Homo-oligomer: A and B are copies of this chain.
Amino acid sequence: MPLTCDQLRAFLAREFPQIHQDFIVEDVAPMRARMRLAFGDRHLRPGGTISGPSMFGLADVSLYAAILGSLGPVALAVTTNLNINFIRRPEPADLIGEARLLKLGKRLAVGEVSIFSTVDNDLVAHAVGTYSIPPRETVS
């Protein structure tokens, strides 16, 4: 049962209060999600750019949202692998993560994310991640 944008927002706010102010749901659809990193001083790094962990976090939450958007909140998917390439150094401003699932199997999901700057729409990073999907409990 896929999640709507509003359902995904409510789910993330309830389950991930720690990151709920950093990451904003822009859009979600089966196999896809678009998330925004709301830039703040805590994401800054020397030279006026955005930290690697912040971009990693955006890639991870965007893929996770795409899985939730497809399977519903039952699935507590766990990140098992994430490979990220940093393409250019982003300016200090909001970033957009565009996630697309390449596979949504019973046990594994694989997807890719492109991270764009909102200043100029340039690609600043690209990631591919694998998620383990726990066995669905049979509810009787």
Residues on A lying within 8 angstroms of B by beta carbon are: 15-16, 18-19, 42, 44-46, 51-54, 56-57, 60, 78-89, 102-103, 107-108, 110, 112, 123, 126, 128, 130, 132
Give Cα distance in the complex from A81 to B126, angstroms. Answer: 10
A/B interface sample: 13 pairs, CB < 8 A: A15-B46, A16-B45, A52-B57, A53-B53, A56-B56, A80-B85, A80-B86, A80-B108, A81-B81, A85-B102, A88-B103, A108-B132, A126-B128
| Given A83-B128, A126-B112, A52-B45 contact (CB < 8 Å) | no
Partner of A112, one of B42, B53, B80, B112: B112
Residue of B nearest to A87 (CB): B103
A30 CB to nearest B CB, Å: 16
Cβ–Cβ < 8 Å partners of A18 in chain B: 42, 44-45, 51
Looking at chain A's contact residues, is the secondary structure mostly helix, strand, loop, or mixed?
strand
Task: Evaluate contact between B103 and A132: CB separation under 8 angstroms.
Answer: no
A115 CB to nearest B CB, Å: 11
Task: Evaluate contact between B107 and A132: CB separation under 8 angstroms.
Answer: yes
Cβ–Cβ < 8 Å partners of A132 in chain B: 107-108
